[in-house]
Amino acid sequence: MFKGKQITTLLLAAAMSLGLLAGCGQSKDSGASAGAGGNTGADNGGAKQEQQLSGTVTASGSTALAPLVKQAAADFMDKNPKVTVNVTGGGSGTGLKNVADGTSDIGNSDVAAEGEFKDKGLVDHVVAIAPFAIITNNDVGIDNLSKQQAADIFTGKITNWKDIPGGKDMKITVVHRPASSGSRRLVQQIVLDGKEFTKEGIEQAESGAMKTAVASTSGAVGYVDIPFVDQTVKAVKFDGVAFSKETVRSGAYKLYGVEHMYTKGEPAGAVKAFLDFIMSKDFQERRVEELKFLPASLLSK
């Protein structure tokens, strides 16, 4: 027979054992709950982490690429309210200089970084294809320019539209971009085969200003990327081919640029997150074409 003290001790031991078992069961349940909640927490944590991304991203350069970068900045800041993305123009040359000097986090350019920028440690991020168009004032009355005709106009060899089939007897006013412009260099490479533009005409600092000048100047001709083309100007065929996604893909339409966003070294933090956002499947497949650009992967397919 157990004595009273022994009975009391046994009862206490049993109670403690039951408590431990209950505790283990509770711990196991809590762990499972934390695991399920942990997954949710990881998901929420990912969203929370994205929302907590902070800092300022500066991008400058190409005004041709600016509509895409500005829309990407607006979409990205909606998802990341603690990040500020500042987008400015100035032309591709300015963007490349700024990123090489460390003035900007990102340098936007219609052309590849060459010459003085080749050994500056710049990392290229190809973000889109930008089809360009030769545009005329609506009073000119032509629908097509061959490469030779366009080159003769931009170099000053042809100065009156009557010398182009279908053109009126009207002086040609060439609207230029400045030497820092990637759009100018692109047209110089593709249309002029590297020859110099005529020094006659009007110079405009940005793509939007170029379009406005052509629209408001009788007999004017210039060049912009497709996102800037509207009913105020005429986008003529180039060598008999109109711009479309398929004509660019097939190589029939040759007037386009590969759009670059350069960083000095590999990007990190908010800069990397912004570039990743632009290259995301959703932005590339939805927004890029909405903005009248073409996806970066188009020519690799």
Packed helices 66-79 and 269-278: angle between N→C axes, nearest 10 degrees: 110
- SS3 label, residue 108: strand
- SS3 label, residue 187: helix
- SS3 label, residue 62: coil
- SS3 label, residue 107: strand
**pLDDT tens digits for 79-89?**
999 999 999 99
Structure tokens at 134: 């030769």
Q: What is the DSSP letter of 241?
A: B
Q: What is the mean pLDDT of residues 265-294?
A: 96
Percent of the chain with pLDDT over 70: 83
Q: Is a pLDDT exceeding 70 seen at residue 212?
A: yes
Q: Is a pLDDT exceeding 60 seen at residue 11?
A: no
**pLDDT tens digits for 65-78?**
999 999 999 999 99
Residues 204 and 200: their CA atoms lie apart, in Å, by 13
Q: Is a pLDDT exceeding 90 seen at residue 53?
A: yes
Asked if 105 contacts 297 with a C-beta cutoff of 8 angstroms, the reply is: no
**Lowest mean pLDDT, pick from 14-23, 136-145, 188-197:** 14-23
Structure tokens at 227: 């996102």
Q: pLDDT grade, residue 27 (50/70/90)? A: very low
Q: What is the mean pLDDT of residues 195-214?
A: 96
Residues 200 and 176: their CA atoms lie apart, in Å, by 9
Domains belonging to the chain, first-starting first, are: 56-129+259-300 (3.40.190.10), 130-250 (3.40.190.10)
- Residue-level pLDDT at 301: 63
**pLDDT tens digits for 130-150?**
999 999 999 999 999 999 999
- Residue-level pLDDT at 29: 37
Strands 83-90 and 55-61, sheet pairing: parallel
Q: What is the CA radius of gyration of the chain?
A: 30
C-alpha angle with apex 244: 248 to 133, nearest 5 degrees? 85
Residues 299 and 301: their CA atoms lie apart, in Å, by 6
Q: Is a pLDDT exceeding 70 seen at residue 25?
A: no
Residues 104 and 73: their CA atoms lie apart, in Å, by 15
More confident residue, 168 or 46: 168
Please name the helix (run of DSSP H) or strand (run of DSSP E) that holds residue 60, with its range, or none: strand 55-61
- SS3 label, residue 24: helix
Return phi, psi of residue 209, to 5°: -70, -35
Q: pLDDT grade, residue 223 (50/70/90)? A: very high
- Residue-level pLDDT at 254: 95
Q: Is a pLDDT exceeding 80 seen at residue 35?
A: no
Q: What is the DSSP letter of 285?
A: I
Q: Is a pLDDT exceeding 60 seen at residue 103?
A: yes
- Residue-level pLDDT at 48: 46
Which segments of the chain does DSSP mark as H helices, in order? 4-52, 66-79, 92-101, 147-154, 182-190, 207-216, 245-250, 269-278, 281-282, 288-290
- Residue-level pLDDT at 276: 98
- DSSP conformation letters of 123-186: EEEEEEEEEEEEEEETTS---EE-HHHHHHHHTTS--BGGGSTT--S-B-EEEE--TT-HHHHH
- SS3 label, residue 8: helix
Whose tokens are 């009788």? That residue is: 218
Q: Is a pLDDT exceeding 90 seen at residue 264?
A: yes
Q: Is a pLDDT exceeding 50 seen at residue 165?
A: yes
Looking at every residue in the chain, the average pLDDT score rounds to 86
- Residue-level pLDDT at 193: 97
- Residue-level pLDDT at 46: 42
